[in-house]
Structure 1
Amino acid sequence: MSLENDLAAAQRALHDLLIGKRVVSVQKDGRKVDFTSASLDQLQNYIDNLKGQLGQYSRRRPPSGVVL
């Protein structure tokens, strides 16, 4: 499976969790990994890691503060 396919599968899994599915499965390093709503952070980290490997920026930078 290519990194692009891995990323698409992980993003679908995240979407499924966010819309209420209780458990989703993703193939990761040749093995099946189950995620639940309790592991949303782990799934997001996996997505961020894949995006980093693909050279994509995964999260926007926080707004800069205004100093007066």
Structure 2
Amino acid sequence: MIVIQQINTFYDVQQLLKKFGFIVYFKDKADMYEMMEQEIQSLYNIGLISNEDYLKCRIIINQRKK
């Protein structure tokens, strides 16, 4: 498991994804959030991010969706 940084904002989630080579941008925000969730899930499933970071990312993305 890799410890990257504290995740507190949407920007932090984007930077986490960027460190793993994922730059997610779609014109449609709903599509962008869905893709980000899928990529975060993949990183968690293969053990590259901790459970805590995974949950923080999901919460931040869900807050952004609203």
What TM-score does the superposition give when structure 2 sets the normalisation length?
A: 0.42
Structure with the greater alpha carbon radius of gyration: 1
* Between structures 1 and 2, the one with greater helix share: 2
Structure with the bigger RCO (C-alpha within 8 Å, sep 6+) is: 2
Give the structure with the larger strand fraction: 1
